[in-house]
Amino acid sequence: MLRIFSRKSILVICFTAIVLLVNTVNAQHLSSNSYLIGDFENAKEAINYFEEDKSDYNIGFSIHINYALDSNELYVESSDSYVTFQQYVEALKVYLDKNPSKVVPLFINYEGPENWLKQVLNKANLDDYCFFLPAGEKWPNLEEIRDTGKRLIIFSFHQTNDEDKIINYAWDHIAEFPFTNFDSPIFEGYYSNGKPENELLLLRHFEKSNIEKSKIDESWLNLSENNFSILHAIKCWQLCGKRPNFIMVEGKHIRKIYYLNYVLRDFPSISGVVSYRNKPLEQVFWENKVKAITNGYYSFPVVEDEAPVLRPYQHGYSFRPSNIQVTEEYLKKGVINFTAFPLSLDEELTGAFTFNGKINNLIKPASSTKNFKCEFAKDIVKGEVLKFQDSSYAVFGIPDDFGIRKSSFTISLNIKLSELDLENDYFLIGANEKEYRKSLHVNIRKGIPYFGFYGSDVSVYKKLEPSKWYNLVVRYDIKNQEQSIFINGKQHGSSTGHPSYIGESELMLGRGFIQEGHLSGYIDDLYIWNRALSNNEIKTVFSDGVKVEKKNNLVFIFLTLITLVVLALVILMVVRRRRSVKFQTTRVKSFKTSEILGSKINTITLFGGFRVYDKHGKDITLKFPPKIKELFLIILLYSVKSTRGISSQKITNIIWHGFSTKKASNNRSVSFNKLRSAISDIEGISINFESGYWKITWNESFICDYLRVSSILKQLDKSRPEKYKELFQYVKSGKFLENSNWEWLEEFQTSINFDVVDALNDYALTLDELKEQAQAFEVYTLVIKIDDLNEQALQYIVSYLKSKESQTRARYYYDKFCEKYFEAYDEKYHIEFQDLI
């Protein structure tokens, strides 16, 4: 979503914003505005600013207050002048009286007694000007604040106990974006100060100390030389989903970056609430081009030449809508809300071991397990449990049995240590591999739980005691690469930045990659999910346990026989009706575009990203972890390319290259079983194997945009403009499989994207000839989104925007194109902006 500006276009934006300022901000909320907060080293300069400023800019101030022992008074820290706090607030009062429309934030850094501050404010008759908001309340709009007559908002960086309701504690309302560096801000969901749910955002990046630390030249202030400050502020906004409300800047520079104030305020954006039971969620992840982390309230900048897709994600929830493409219509509304629905606890449960006399997976009874001298014991609390002593251990499967490789997952188990070994590790779960990312381990070291993939661990500070039962849960979330440890339903440790687990060796209970690390103790109720459970779900696992119906073998055999009989009858019926119901690999029934796009039932979309919906319209994309997704796509795309599909050997060479024959065969078998399971709830599609070739067949019940686009491209004819319109409706979500980058896929992506671009160029030319320039412009903006070096699209877009007197947007498209052009060819684009007509 990051918008890149040129020097000239920034100047145009700033000029336009200044001209239109007066009548645009009155009804806006404080959280919808951006304030420059001047920190003047010389306090007299601040007072001079009060006297000289006649602008309508959103400006605030920051001061450091100290106590002078010799004069027994508060003063404002200053480099080369002495100004009392009394003098400062008196000048500030005059400033407020001169500017009755201004709402002014004042940040104070002061650690002394509060009553001294209040005495000064009272003496200056400024306490009646101070607006106070209790912690946790949402900020009103600026007009409401003005109506109270309290237009000074004082924020203290130090905790206050203000019964007089004059001074707000900053970190009750504001979150401070962590400063990392200017070139590439980093945000992992944590703030330097304040809570994630706080409504307002503070940036300190432009303070003198951070500028000097980063050795940034003062040219960053000059728009005629660069637009660094805007890019940086918008990038921070983009990452945390909060508009920068307060931007600290050295006081002497404040006039030079007034423009930042309005560019941020007027920047196109979308906002809303993600809620569960009408309450905002505490944390939400967003699967956009730039992955963001917000609380339940969010705000994102939006670029005109993109139609971003908002897709919220949080452990343990599905969302309605599951995703939204931000169109012009949504931008006009400015608000999109999402509702969260909790998943069932058995959703994606892939392993369940209760150890009632057996080591078997109740979810998948046929899975391979091995017992090496483990015994079953009767525990007074848990009943029958698995006992480990004298180097005993058990194998409970391989990673692919549970779908935890390259995927999110959660593992829960109850444990009791017989004794506490202060020298060696106790492995609860381990693997024989001893390589980075390949050795899954959950172990106890000197009583402290650890969890990781070898060289990539998280631990906790809580020490486990012998002879006590604990519910231990480890969770890995691939979305934000987070490892977490929970003890008795409570999160005790978490860290991000951990790449996913990729090991393949057997998983063991009571043993790990260190041979001496055998467990002495007991394990009960092992459960595995190939998704990240929510914190509330983990609390439920601890408090209520997990209910899994055990499969009765006789019933299972009986049901299997019934299923086989029914299957035989179905096959017979299919054979007889083969002529009337034709499954095909390259043709699809012609539907009305509106019907297809309006329904998500039995649908898979590939343009703009990979999404899967079952026969009920439920988003089941999470059932396709990376390897299963790749397997599905390679069969689907080759099924369209060739009526035979793709050979089993070619699939193996691509996906399991370098594996031994036996290992590749085992992995292939497991993956195909998972793929069949994943598509079992999608009607109208099946996977077939014939004469050594795999292919996907489908009928009219199944909807896939790629299949329809492939068909439309073969039918295009300028005498049938409705086909071009239908094509546009299918592909407007974005590039084909935009976020997938397997080497084998590049051929398909290049081919379909080029074909689509050629067709869209023809469509846009036809629209232009029909004098439908607005629609042609919409088509060309999609073209340049797919092919960012398409000169035909650039020339039309710039020409169209110039004709609409939108020089700013025209310049933006041109500069962005030039930047991409230079990156690709290492030379400047040969046509100047003014020459594009």
Report pLDDT digits (tens) over 500-532: 898 989 999 998 887 667 899 999 999 999 999
pLDDT given at position 517: 73
Tokens of 397: 């499967």
Q: Which residues in the chain are classed under CATH 3.20.20?
A: 12-267
Report pLDDT digits (tens) over 98-131: 999 999 999 999 988 888 889 999 999 998 999 9
Mean pLDDT of 757-763: 89
Report pLDDT digits (tens) over 180-228: 666 667 787 778 899 888 899 999 877 766 655 555 555 555 544 446 6
Report pLDDT digits (tens) over 389-438: 988 999 999 998 898 988 899 999 999 999 877 677 889 999 988 888 88
Report pLDDT digits (tens) over 300-351: 988 665 667 888 988 889 898 888 888 778 888 889 999 999 888 988 899 9
Report pLDDT digits (tens) over 168-182: 999 999 999 987 666
Report pLDDT digits (tens) over 549-581: 654 444 444 445 555 655 666 555 544 444 333
- Indicate the SS3 state at residue 267: coil
- Alpha-carbon separation of residue 413 from 410, 469, 472 (angstroms): 10, 10, 6
Q: Phi then psi for 541, rounded to 5 degrees?
A: -60, -40
Report pLDDT digits (tens) over 323-335: 888 877 888 888 9
Indicate if the pLDDT at residue 649 is higher than 80: yes
pLDDT given at position 183: 62
Q: Which residue has the tokens 């525990």?
A: 379
pLDDT given at position 159: 86
Report pLDDT digits (tens) over 791-826: 889 988 888 888 887 777 788 788 888 888 888 888
* 232 and 183 Cβ atoms separated by less than 8 Å: no
* 640 and 586 Cβ atoms separated by less than 8 Å: yes
Report pLDDT digits (tens) over 244-271: 999 998 888 788 777 777 788 788 889 9
More confident: 36 or 810:
36
Q: Which residues in the chain are classed under CATH 2.60.120.200?
A: 349-544
Maximum average pLDDT range among 20-34, 684-698, 807-821 = 684-698
Of 259, 198, 250, which Cα lies nearest the Cα of 228? 259
Of 525, 522, 506, 526, which Cα lies nearest the Cα of 374? 522
* 15 and 259 Cβ atoms separated by less than 8 Å: no
- Indicate the SS3 state at residue 227: coil
**Residue 721: alpha-carbon gap to chain centroid:** 38
The string of DSSP codes covering 455-514 is S-EEE-SPPPPTT-EEEEEEEEETTTTEEEEEETTEEEEEE---PPP---SPEEES--SS
The DSSP bridge partners found for residue 394 are: 371, 509
Mean pLDDT of 684-705: 90
Range with lowest mean pLDDT among 89-98, 218-227, 270-279, 451-460? 218-227
| Confidence category of residue 440, pLDDT binned at 50, 70, 90 | very high
Of 616, 617, 587, which Cα lies nearest the Cα of 605? 617
Tell which CATH architecture fits domain 12-267.
Alpha-Beta Barrel (3.20)
Q: Name the packing angle between helices 721-731 and 746-769 (round to 10°).
A: 130
Mean pLDDT of 468-476: 96
The DSSP H or E segment spanning 669 is helix 661-678
CATH of 349-544, one of 3.20.20.70, 2.40.50.360, 2.60.120.200, 2.40.110.10: 2.60.120.200
* 244 and 34 Cβ atoms separated by less than 8 Å: yes
